Structure 1
Amino acid sequence: MGCLPSKQNDSDTGSRKRSGNVGEVAVFVPGLRVPKSVDLFQSLGDILPWCLTQRLSALRTRIVVMAAQEAPIVVKPKRKTATQHGGSSLPDLRQALEDYLPVLLGLVKDGSQLVDSIHFVWTNQEDDAEVVLYETKIANAWYEVLSVLHLMAMLCFSEANSLLLPKTSSDSNPKVSEESRRSAIDIFLKAAGYLDCAIQHVLPQLPPDLRVNLPVDLAEGVLHSLLMQALGQSVDIQLGMAMDSPKATLAVKRRLACEMVKCWHQAEDSITKYTLAEGWGGKHQLFIKWKHDEAKAAAYYYHGVILDEGNTEKSHRMAVAALQAAEESISQSKRASDAFNAMPPISRNPPPWGPMKYLYEKIPKDAANKVRINQDLYNQHRILERAPTLLDFAVALKPDDYRLPEVDHAWN
């Protein structure tokens, strides 16, 4: 077991700068790590039967080739027009990774001595126009498993981003179909399952000294932040669908908004433990802050609307405070969004649609009306009063239960 020097200090991967423009971003994909070719026959020699080494090599080589082809798509996603069809091959790459895992796990089964027999090499794909590769070479098969799960999750993020970019059309009201939104929820929960498996079942297999030297992309806190991002964005979609449904009560919308707050709070808490002040890592932090502020705005808004239905002075006073907090949060989210898009690589928001389009318009209007009607209450209590802890209303959302597959029968 060992870790050979990389071409770049991988502990700095989160703070490195990245040039270019990544276009519209509905789901932030914080970089892409792709495998690089290695000579498995040289590493394994006569240890394994030739046919097994050949199968392992063929599966990995297929992934290397496919990942190189798909990297530009992930780095620079494009929004399709309303008439465009045809699919991405990202699901095909994810399936190739699924096929690879059972064979790969033979290297680590039952305390195998083969665990450190191969130096697995992965690179960080930075930009399709100005390619900068940060290479990490580690002789541990669990590192390969961890990298595979991370790539599977990032492919899910990229797929969800494509689904959630509103299609261009002749009308001025961009929309994302309900089918696309439901598919995106399923994909987010799959990504969360991959990341949860990586944290719970793969990271603990790595020796402490190796875990310390992992690229920041694979650090436990960053993986947990990505996990909570996946859950937060899936709840965001569910809130939008609830807002479209005449059957959804205000209490349901508040519960979903509060669940979003919880997810993005945990995501922000996990990633801010790392020094990622600029570059790709800094951009990821700003994306999480932006979405956290949006979630708080939605939760305070629905809490305020519910409180305003009360018939007491206290309920109206708390409603004023909650709506004022929603207005403050929506202003903070706009600033975080601007900072996120301005940080290289430059990005932009897709045309507004769904719940946040509604809330960006509704919150300032309702807050202003409520303050005008209850001016005395606002002046007296805008600083002293705040809504109760929003997390009290949240109900936990869980990732898919993803488990590592059984070792391929060829190892028997």
Structure 2
Amino acid sequence: MQGVGEASKLRLSFCKQDKRVPVTASEMLPPIRRISYKFQDMGCLVSTPQDTGGYRKRPGNVGEVAVFVPGLRIPKPVDFSQPLGDSLSKSLVERLSALRTRIVVMAAQEAPTATKSRKRTATQHGGSTLSDLQQALEDYLPVLLGLVKDGSHLQHKVQFVWVNQEDDAEETAMPNAWYEVLSVLHLMAMLSLSQANLLLLPKTAGDGYQPKVSEAESRRMSIDVFLRAAGYLDCALRHVFPQLPPELRRDLPVDLAEGVLRALSLQALGQGVDIQLGMAIDSAKATLAVKRRLACEMVKYWHQAQENIMHLPLANGWGEKHQLFVKWKYVEAKAAAYYYHGLILDEGNTEKSHGMAVAALQAAEEFLKESKKVCEAFNTSPPISRNPPLWGTMKYLSEKIPKDTSSKVRINRDLYTSENWGIFQLLHFILFDEALHVMAIF
């Protein structure tokens, strides 16, 4: 049974080996990277003040979902004049009020539809409601940061109130401007994920939508959007969380819990790599080693996302759906990693390598079957959703994994003895039964 021990070592290292695989520009694909978001890069624009209120309204059906977005947290109106009137000039208070009121109005209008699959809603200025709200947040943030600059006493003067989505409490109020900064960055990230969802959903003539770019270009564009979302969340975790005292961190809604923010950031990175893998599949220049490396990178991101979110008290519909989405994508990523690992092993010329290839492909097929079950659970969990037509990585793998596994099993059964075949089957079960633990080291 020496082969079993060697196989165990191999399965523990196959994704680690891919770190040594050179990936050059000629092989395509820009690397996934984290963005360090700079506050000073944002512009400023004064808006006309209006008034509205925000209340949590969860849709019963969100339609097609390519990217999970756990609703939009909505800011409620704030009166800046009373707490800040004696400390800031009237013009600055009015500017701060106008910028935030614009966000309150737009977020209340956008929230009911932000998670639904639909064509972009055009505005009179030629943009979209999502991009206009994103711009409003970028205009507001540098002005807001004036309240926390150099430990200013003004940061505790205003009570900020936001409506939650994943927390049991409908809203959370805190007299701390860093809480407002954290909430703004979270909303900017959720808007980016909503934009990525729109880019990745299929456009049809029946929608009355005339696409200006091809589906391939939309997918390329989505990579930058995913990176932007991850950048906002990374900025929140690195630069805002440390500013909050421990007692305030404990009182944050689960929407803003550190684990949720990390999971969302990792989700964005994982889905960005998924798009890159789809591009690699379509490229004649991308080798099996490159594809396996990308698949292993997906496994790493989704595993870390699951580790961050699985123990959080996400009890309501959005929260449970969020956990199922992460689990679904994690299992899909493992199917891809084992599939490409199996193809690489099959390039060997030995009986052992062929047997290991079959074991890896069978594990990939099991993960593919499991992913379909978790996907169904995700879609039936409220709010109800459905999958868009298969595209990209999973369209390819859903066809290739069963076909290649069946073919390799048949060929190897004909070539090798039943005794050795039994060892190969044992290798398969070892691989599959311990896969959840093994993937943790990637």
Q: Normalising by structure 1, what TM-score?
A: 0.84
Q: In the alignment, is the contact (CA less than 8 A) between 1:34 and 1:68 conserved in 2? A: yes
Q: In the alignment, is the contact (CA less than 8 A) between 2:70 and 2:319 conserved in 1? A: yes
Aligned to 1:70: 110
Superposition pairs of residues 7-26 of structure 1, within 5 angstroms: 18=58, 20-26=60-66
Answering whether residue 422 of structure 2 is matched by residue 379 of structure 1, we say yes
Which of residues 200, 203, 219 is equivalent to 1:167? Answer: 203
Q: Which has the higher helix share?
A: 2
Aligned to 2:365: 327
Superposition pairs of residues 9-408 of structure 1, within 5 angstroms: 18=58, 20-78=60-118, 88-124=128-164, 134-168=170-204, 177-276=215-314, 279-375=317-413, 376=418, 377-385=420-428, 386=431
Q: 1:97 to 1:363 in 2, by over 3 A?
A: same
Q: How far has the Cα of 1:390 moved from its partner?
A: 6.2
Tell me: higher relative CO, structure 1 or 2? Use CA pairs within 8 A at least 6 residues apart: 1
Which whole-Å deviations, capped at 9, do the CAs of 1:35-84 have from their partners, x for residues lacking one? Answer: 1111110221311111111111111111111111211221322157xxxx
Which whole-Å deviations, capped at 9, do the CAs of 1:194-218 have from their partners, x for residues lacking one? Answer: 0001011101110101100100010
Farther-moved stretch of structure 1 (88-97 vs 261-270): 88-97
Q: In the alignment, is the contact (CA less than 8 A) between 1:79 and 1:165 conserved in 2? A: no
Aligned to 1:403: none
Q: In the alignment, is the contact (CA less than 8 A) between 1:79 and 1:166 conserved in 2? A: no
Q: How far has the Cα of 1:379 moved from its partner?
A: 3.3
Q: 1:267 to 1:390 in 2, by over 3 A?
A: closer
Q: In the alignment, is the contact (CA less than 8 A) between 1:324 and 1:382 conserved in 2? A: no
How many equivalent pairs are there? 364
Q: 1:73 to 1:235 in 2, by over 3 A?
A: same
Aligned to 1:6: none
2:77 alignment partner, SS class: coil
What is the one-letter code of the residue matched to 1:124? N
What is the one-letter code of the residue matched to 1:95? Q
Q: In the alignment, is the contact (CA less than 8 A) between 1:164 and 1:176 conserved in 2? A: no
Farther-moved stretch of structure 1 (59-68 vs 379-388): 379-388
State the alpha-carbon separation in 1 of the partners of residues 422 and 406 from structure 2: 13
1:383 alignment partner, SS class: helix
Q: How far has the Cα of 1:168 moved from its partner?
A: 2.3
Aligned to 1:10: none
Q: How far has the Cα of 1:277 moved from its partner?
A: 5.0
1:384 alignment partner, SS class: helix
Which residues of structure 2 form unaligned runs of 5+?
1-55, 121-125, 207-212
Q: How far has the Cα of 1:144 moved from its partner?
A: 0.1
Q: How far has the Cα of 1:381 moved from its partner?
A: 2.5
Aligned to 1:402: none
User: How much identity, in percent, do the aligned residues show?
Assistant: 69
Instruction: Write out the 4+ residue segments of structure 1 that deviate beyond 4 Å after TM superposition.
Output: 387-392
1:182 alignment partner, SS class: helix
What is the one-letter code of the residue matched to 1:109? K
What is the one-letter code of the residue matched to 2:223? I
State the alpha-carbon separation in 1 of the partners of residues 116 and 280 from structure 2: 31
Aligned to 1:8: none
State the alpha-carbon separation in 2 of the partners of residues 250 and 327 from structure 1: 18
Q: 1:359 to 1:87 in 2, by over 3 A?
A: farther
Q: How big is the alpha-carbon RMSD for the aligned residues of Structure 1 and Structure 2?
A: 2.3
